[in-house]
Amino acid sequence: MLVLASGSAVRRRLLTQAGLTFDVVPADIDESVVQHHDPAERALALAKLKAEHVWAKRPHDIVIGADQVGRLGARWLEKCHDGAAAKEQLRAMRGQTHRFFSAAAVVQQGHVTGAGAGVVEECAVTFRDFSEDELDRYLATNEWRGCCGSYQIEHRGAQLVDDVQGPLTAVWGLPLYPLLKTLRTLGAA
């Protein structure tokens, strides 16, 4: 059985649309234990940690762990817990380019599987210089809740974007095509 160690609705949708059948078992881990300063390494370490955590509960299954981190220069992008923090973060991103690093790791028989023991994709997103009124209208949608970077590019957050360079799936939080390649080598896709 294939298991997704994530509660992300976007990741579930991407894998379902790709034709996969899987269980969802969100990994309940303390993400603060991963302290990598390199964003790609941090995303991959979190993906591995989640996959290994769930695999310990489901040792006969193939477990996919996934995570995403974002950076605006040297600043980590956050999943903000209140509207004021989300507004401050989105203001800082206005007119700037930020980057997302999305990683996936597959654990089977206790070992991380795949090229380089996991995959990471990077994507650069440039926000346009949106107005304060546009920012307030976006925040009122509440789409910012639970999102790295405080926006959802697959919904109304697309209105904030001027340009995207790299795979859009990296913004969505899953390096889908490299992950599918790994799963096909395991006979799981």
| Active-site pick, 30, 67, 129, 162 | 67
Phi and psi, residue 102, nearest 5°: -115, 135
Residue type at position 152? Q
Asked if 186 and 106 touch (Cβ cutoff 8 Å), the reply is yes
Asked if 122 and 63 touch (Cβ cutoff 8 Å), the reply is no
Q: In this structure, what DSSP letter does residue 18 have? A: T
For helices 83-93 and 132-140, the axis angle rounded to 10 degrees is 140
Q: How far apart are CA 91 and CA 24, in angstroms?
A: 35
- Is position 67 annotated as part of the catalytic site? yes
From residue 98, how far is each of 4, 180, 188 by CA, in Å? 27, 26, 34
Asked if 154 and 10 touch (Cβ cutoff 8 Å), the reply is yes
Cross-strand bridge partners of residue 124: 99, 165
Residues with catalytic roles: 67
